[in-house]
């Protein structure tokens, strides 16, 4: 498989699709030495089933592991760290990865519990987990989905799971774009297999899955994300970290030079395929939010709460690290503890925020 290729497969047997696309890409040939330590990095941001559109289908990892073991690769590790405030262990269990690791002998690594070291990521120092730095070949298994702050999350952003929670918080204080791009100058993306089965195209926490019945593979994370953005109706310029990663030499965003190869057709997919375009629901809700360096979990909890208010909010609500020690009216999260009214928690749950907003007399 060449660096400018994207392989696409459609269907309903996810494990078989993963094995097929790995074979077409000659993944075994790309890896080479059978003794290499191979990392498998899914997106398990929260403990929610993949059918809800937030997490990587375990069948993809199962198909890949079956392919790898059949080709003599046995030094396998599944690595992930859920977002700040969530339990990776719960996500491993809920999403089926704990069972998969037990059945296949793959090592299961919670990067939240890992030690980390500072790496020079093209001029930006970033703490990266040792377990991710120790692998010889990294297989990135992102979900193609929306994000309430960056619009799109796919291969590049999925690597936030290989940094400790303190760095995840710092990423948000730096504005996400710059640190995501710089991280990928060090975090490996040797092979990418994107879960495009049923991602939530508006919201990283899931809940509104859009069925597309698609997996696609790439070697270039920048090209991968540029194509994912295009599938969702965005230009590269709409997702600034893609362009910055390209400038840093991580890959190419030039879709005109990409070779897209479909291994079958949409018509062979099981179920009805749907246009991969966001509904705009999250964007509509952000009119009620004033955000400054908010962590994803806190911001998402607020968006969740707003989405469950029948008539929206009658207030502007502040969220983010930028409000620490500042006075204000209404805030969400511990960073807004100096506000006249705030919902405590680091992060608070969506249910907590919803109860808080209703308690303020928000129209419902």
pLDDT tier, 311 (very low <50, low <70, confident <90, very high otherwise):
low
pLDDT at 320 over 60: yes
For residue 276, what pLDDT is reported? 55
Terminal C-alpha separation, the chain: 53
For residue 172, what pLDDT is reported? 80
What are the pLDDT digits (tens) for 173-190? 888 899 999 999 999 999
Nearest-angstrom CA–CA distance, 203 and 213: 19
For residue 269, what pLDDT is reported? 42
Report yes or no: 63 and 19 within 8 Å, Cβ to Cβ: yes
Cis peptide before 166 (omega within 30 of 0): no
- Token pair 């992102």 is at which residue? 142
pLDDT tier, 280 (very low <50, low <70, confident <90, very high otherwise):
low
> What are the distances in angstroms from CA 349 to CA 207, 241, 262?
15, 28, 41
For residue 58, what pLDDT is reported? 98
Domain boundaries, the chain: 5-268, 281-359
Buried (b) or exposed (e) across 267-301, using 16+ Cβ within 10 A? eebeeeeeebebeebbeebeebbbbbbbbbbbbbb
Nearest-angstrom CA–CA distance, 82 and 95: 12
Nearest-angstrom CA–CA distance, 185 and 206: 28
Average confidence (pLDDT) over 245-252: 98
> What are the distances in angstroms from CA 63 to CA 5, 67, 87?
21, 6, 25
Give the full edge-to-edge strand order of the sheet including 259-262: 107-110, 76-80, 38-42, 137-141, 191-196, 214-218, 5-10, 259-262
pTM above 0.85, yes or no: no
Nearest-angstrom CA–CA distance, 115 and 131: 8
For residue 275, what pLDDT is reported? 46
pLDDT at 336 over 90: yes
- Average pLDDT over the chain reads 90
For residue 266, what pLDDT is reported? 64
**CATH fold for domain 5-268:** Rossmann fold (3.40.50)
């Amino acid at each position: 498989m060449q660096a400018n290729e994207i392989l696409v497969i459609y269907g309903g047997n996810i494990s078989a699709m993963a094995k097929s696309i790995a074979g077409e890409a000659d993944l075994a040939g790309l890896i080479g030495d059978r003794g290499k330590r191979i990392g498998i990095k899914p997106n398990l941001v929260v403990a929610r089933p993949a059918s809800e559109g937030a997490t990587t289908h375990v069948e993809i990892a199962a198909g890949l592991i079956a392919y790898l073991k059949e080709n003599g690769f046995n030094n396998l590790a599944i690595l992930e760290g859920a977002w700040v405030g969530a339990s990776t262990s719960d996500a491993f269990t809920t999403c089926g990865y704990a069972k998969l690791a037990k059945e296949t002998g793959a090592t299961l690594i919670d990067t939240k519990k890992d030690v980390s070291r500072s790496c020079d990521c093209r001029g930006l120092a970033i703490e990266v987990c040792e377990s991710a730095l120790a692998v010889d070949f990294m297989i990135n298994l992102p979900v193609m989905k929306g994000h309430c702050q960056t619009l799109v999350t796919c291969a590049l952003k999925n690597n936030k799971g290989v940094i400790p929670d303190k760095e995840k918080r710092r990423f948000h204080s730096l504005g996400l774009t710059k640190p995501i791009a710089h991280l990928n100058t060090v975090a490996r993306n040797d092979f990418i297999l994107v879960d495009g089965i049923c991602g939530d195209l508006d919201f990283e926490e899931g809940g509104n899955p859009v069925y597309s019945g698609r997996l696609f593979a790439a070697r270039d994370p920048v090209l991968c994300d540029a194509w994912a953005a295009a599938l969702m109706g965005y230009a590269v310029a709409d997702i600034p970290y893609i362009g910055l990663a390209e400038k840093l030499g991580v890959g190419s965003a030039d879709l005109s030079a990409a070779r897209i190869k479909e291994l079958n057709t949409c018509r062979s997919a099981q179920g009805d395929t749907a246009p991969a375009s966001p509904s705009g629901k999250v964007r509509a809700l952000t009119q009620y939010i004033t955000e400054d360096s908010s962590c994803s979990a806190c911001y998402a909890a607020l968006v969740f709460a707003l989405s469950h208010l029948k008539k929206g909010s009658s207030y502007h609500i502040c969220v983010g690290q930028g409000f620490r020690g500042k006075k204000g009216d209404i805030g969400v999260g511990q960073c807004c503890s100096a506000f006249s009214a705030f919902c405590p928690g680091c992060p608070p749950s969506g249910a907590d925020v919803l109860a808080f907003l209703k308690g303020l007399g928000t129209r419902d």
